[in-house]
Amino acid sequence: MINKYVILSMLIFSVSCKGQNTQMESEELTNAKWYYYSYTMDLKGYDRSGKEVQPLALDVKLLRTLKVNTDTTNLFFVASSKDTLNTCSFKPLDLVGITVIRNRLYLPIYHAIVFDTESDSIVLEKMNKQNLMLQKKVLENKDKTSAWLRAEAKRRKEL
């Protein structure tokens, strides 16, 4: 009888921990996606046919994650216009993802380009600037941005 309660308690604990991890992962993914948009906003976007598109109007989906070490994860995204088959690229630097360090720093990953690592304070300053610029740009151009981005800008403004 006691074994049933122990097993039931362990199961409930396991499910609650899993829920916390999912919530944390979801917050990390949301932030990574937000900063992905913030780093693309000044780039030129092009669909598969070569037609120029607005980066903030694109839909962004997680393509894959790569755990680099205990405190660093790379999240790779794909941006698409109208449907998921119409993938887009960015110029002059093709942004392919975001590196998350200590669940605090969100750095851009560019295709085939690696930049020197800067101090945490410099990165946080740049992230704050990008965050504010993106919020402003989204709120000024609501009709030219993705639905996810509009909702996220509104949520961040209310925080």
Token pair listed for 23: 């919530």
Domains of the chain, residue spans: 27-158
On the question of pLDDT at 20 being above 80, the answer is no
Alpha helices, DSSP H, located in 41-146 = 120-140
Q: Rounded to 5 degrees, what are φ and ψ at 86?
A: -95, 70
Residues whose CB is less than 8 angstroms from the CB of residue 14 and which lie 6 or more positions away in sequence, other chains included:
none
Q: Which of 113, 111, 149, 112 is nearest to 131 (CA)?
A: 149
With the C-alpha atoms ordered 89, 71, 65, 128, is the resulting torsion angle positive or negative? negative
User: Which of 23-37, 54-68, 79-93, 124-138 is least confident?
Assistant: 23-37
pLDDT band (50, 70, 90) for residue 95: very high
On the question of pLDDT at 41 being above 80, the answer is yes
> Starting from the edge strand earliest in sequence, which strands make up the sheet with 89-91, in order?
52-53, 44-46, 89-91
Q: How far apart are CA 130 and CA 134, in angstroms?
A: 6
What separation in angstroms does the CA of 43 have from each of 12, 14, 29? 47, 44, 21
